[in-house]
Structure 1
Amino acid sequence: MEVVHLKNMINATLLELLPAQETPPSHLHQAMHYASLGPGKRLRPLLTLLAANVATDSHTLRMACVSELVHTASLILDDLPCMDDATMRRDRPCAHIRFSESTAILASTNLLNLAYGVIANCPNVDASTKVAVSAHLSHVIGSMGLVGGQIADLQNQPVGNKSEIEQLYHQKTGCLFEFSVVTGARLRGMGAEVIEALTRFARAFGLLFQLYDDMLDHSAFAQETGKDVQQDTAKTTLLSLYTPAEVRGALNDAQALAREQLRRAGHDDSLLAALVEQQFVTFNGAAQRLGS
């Protein structure tokens, strides 16, 4: 099944899950639609579907959309004036500019609330799986995950070594990738060994993705992002510590690790592996342009 078709199914499911725009409070629901259904890669729900062996039944699609709801909520908060003070997201004004700061905050809160509701109310998923997914999501969102990564990013305290930056990258990006692929594995009923391999894959893939984001933020080809750039110029990142050659070396090492963990999880020759390889081509292309 083509990725474009899967993305269309994801968008249709998101539309089903969101409250109708005309339902009161309509202004809030319009903001949720605006932030959630704008142009985007839908990478996280795609990871869930592909980790679940391209299952496209209604309950897998719903569970796959949980990560997109959380991701969108995090982007809304990340863009606020009290956070990164951004103006553009996904090639259009941020939610707090299109609506208001208060509406954006409440839309983000409601998206997080909706994510847990989707898990709890998902048909044809056993209770033990729902509990495991909910507990995992709580960890991913919390102070050891997205929230912790966000406050560390805002504080921008001096970083002692590269491993601390990699941990920050995992909190900011990798942990939600982890949730996405592990959720797919849980829906397939896979065991602890597969989940462990996918967890390691997500850490490597998250590092790659965040390093790519750093390259876009710092480079002349940043128009590819569809969002504000030069946001991290005063922050310590792997890109600020590495030479261009070291960046390419780090990408190669992380890609090798990601491939190995996908193989261990039984995804060495799958649509999930193919999607990841497509992302690697993009990452490597950006790295080749560094310093050029």
Structure 2
Amino acid sequence: MTFNDIDGSRNEASAMIDRIEARLEFLVPRALPGQTGLDAAIRQSVLAPGKRLRPLMTALAAGDLGGDVDVAIDAGCAVEMVHASSLILDDLPCMDDAAMRRGRPATHVTHGEDVAVLSAIAILSGSYEMLARVEGLSPAARLEAVTVLTRAVGVEGLVGGQFADLRGGRDARPLHEIAATNGRKTGALFLAAVEIGAIVAGAGETTRAHLRGFATELGHAFQLLDDLLDGGQNPGMIGKDVNKDAGKSTIVSMLGRPSVEHRIERHVEAAHGELTAVFGASSRLHRLTDAIVALPGRSGADASEQAATQLREQEAGVR
């Protein structure tokens, strides 16, 4: 995935990401003096190389709605810290038991499970504290932003999705239950990112509803693409362990790759429709969406494939 054209030029896109990286470096929670092991785990987890999609979405949403981009970047960094915290927990032996993350050993591999858990809690609590103190937002806007982020993490978001995946992932499940789990695990933070951007810009409920719809569709597409990549043979390509979904009931295992690619295209089309309702036919979020979920070598499903996809979905109990 590249961001060459999300901001009109490669230089502008790179500059936005550089601003995000600089603020993450400044805002990352610091451990007490002398607690170097904990401090290293926190910093390495937050600052490990990543796409920074969530703060980027916050900044682009706020900027294109006329909001303060500097404020939005700081608010988006809180979402990115929650994401970093969730990855630490997701990789633990009691969860997905993954050894690699973002092309590096997972936090518990490098620092131990005890430090990994403590660093995840520190990053999570630090993200809330930072968001509650973001300069340039009114007290009411800060409270609303914190509420959005906490909801994304809790039982309606990451926690609920992870529980469903851990306890039901290896059992046969209806397609709509798998999709709901995907939405909570992946879409929740996308939704928080764009809605916080809208809060920064002071956008109205109609705009925020369209952005929530966009984030929901993008989250489904992103998770499906991640599931496809999990079936690959090259951990270095995606920066984490592969084949972690082996034996789990996923949409890929139920429908097969061609149908999942078609579903991705449908989610992307719906995401673009929500954006168009807010920004018109073209925006930086439109271009970011295409960059995130690009399917190399695919030019779209033909009519016969679409019909086959619909039949498989009907058989799986979803339409």
Common fold by TM > 0.5:
yes
CA gap 1:254/1:148 in 2 versus in 1, 3 angstroms: same
1:279 is the counterpart of 2:289: no
**Cα displacement (A) at 1:248:** 2.4
Q: Aligned runs of 1:160-175 on 2, under 5 Å? A: 160-175=173-188
The answer (yes or no) to whether the contact 1:178–1:198 under 8 Å persists in 2 is yes
**Cα displacement (A) at 1:222:** 5.0
1:9 is the counterpart of 2:19: yes
CA gap 1:287/1:170 in 2 versus in 1, 3 angstroms: farther
**Cα displacement (A) at 1:268:** 3.4
1:203 is the counterpart of 2:216: yes
**Cα displacement (A) at 1:265:** 2.1
- Structure 2 distance, partners of 1:198, 1:173, is 15
Partner in structure 2 of residue 35 of structure 1: 45
Instruction: Name the amino acid aligned to 2:79.
Output: S
Partner in structure 1 of residue 133 of structure 2: 121
- Structure 2 distance, partners of 1:261, 1:80, is 36
- Structure 2 distance, partners of 1:65, 1:88, is 23
The answer (yes or no) to whether the contact 1:267–1:273 under 8 Å persists in 2 is no
Per mean C-alpha deviation after superposition, the further-off stretch among 243-252 and 155-164 is 155-164
1:61 is the counterpart of 2:73: yes
RMSD: 1.8
- Structure 2 distance, partners of 1:280, 1:211, is 9
Give the counterpart of 1:192 among 190, 201, 205: 205
The answer (yes or no) to whether the contact 1:89–1:227 under 8 Å persists in 2 is yes
**Cα displacement (A) at 1:221:** 5.0
**Cα displacement (A) at 1:50:** 0.5
The answer (yes or no) to whether the contact 2:59–2:76 under 8 Å persists in 1 is yes
Partner in structure 2 of residue 45 of structure 1: 55
**Cα displacement (A) at 1:20:** 4.8
**Cα displacement (A) at 1:58:** 3.7
**Cα displacement (A) at 1:21:** 7.0
The answer (yes or no) to whether the contact 1:197–1:265 under 8 Å persists in 2 is yes
Give the counterpart of 1:259 among 272, 282, 288: 272
Per mean C-alpha deviation after superposition, the further-off stretch among 69-78 and 227-236 is 227-236
- Structure 1 distance, partners of 2:45, 2:36, is 14
Partner in structure 2 of residue 95 of structure 1: 107
- Structure 1 distance, partners of 2:209, 2:297, is 30
Identity %: 34
- Structure 1 distance, partners of 2:152, 2:75, is 15
**Cα displacement (A) at 1:161:** 1.9
Partner in structure 1 of residue 263 of structure 2: 250
**Cα displacement (A) at 1:85:** 1.0
SS in 2 for 1:265: helix
1:84 is the counterpart of 2:92: no
SS in 2 for 1:253: helix
1:238 is the counterpart of 2:248: no
Partner in structure 1 of residue 309 of structure 2: none
The answer (yes or no) to whether the contact 1:215–1:286 under 8 Å persists in 2 is no
Give the length in aligned residue pairs.
286
SS in 1 for 2:63: coil
- Structure 2 distance, partners of 1:39, 1:167, is 29
The alignment's TM-score, normalised by the length of structure 2, stands at 0.85
Which 5+ residue runs of structure 1 have no aligned equivalent?
none
CA gap 1:112/1:194 in 2 versus in 1, 3 angstroms: same
Instruction: Name the amino acid aligned to 2:263.
Output: A
SS in 2 for 1:74: helix
Per mean C-alpha deviation after superposition, the further-off stretch among 62-71 and 12-21 is 12-21
The answer (yes or no) to whether the contact 1:77–1:108 under 8 Å persists in 2 is yes
CA gap 1:33/1:250 in 2 versus in 1, 3 angstroms: same
The answer (yes or no) to whether the contact 1:90–1:226 under 8 Å persists in 2 is yes
For residues 184-206 of structure 1, the C-alpha deviation after alignment (integer angstroms, 9 at most, x for no partner) is 11111111011111111111100
- Structure 1 distance, partners of 2:280, 2:116, is 38
SS in 2 for 1:232: coil
1:183 is the counterpart of 2:193: no
SS in 1 for 2:77: helix
- Structure 1 distance, partners of 2:298, 2:236, is 16
Which 5+ residue runs of structure 2 have no aligned equivalent?
1-6, 300-319
For residues 207-237 of structure 1, the C-alpha deviation after alignment (integer angstroms, 9 at most, x for no partner) is 1110111011112355411111110111111
Partner in structure 1 of residue 233 of structure 2: 220
- Structure 2 distance, partners of 1:24, 1:46, is 34
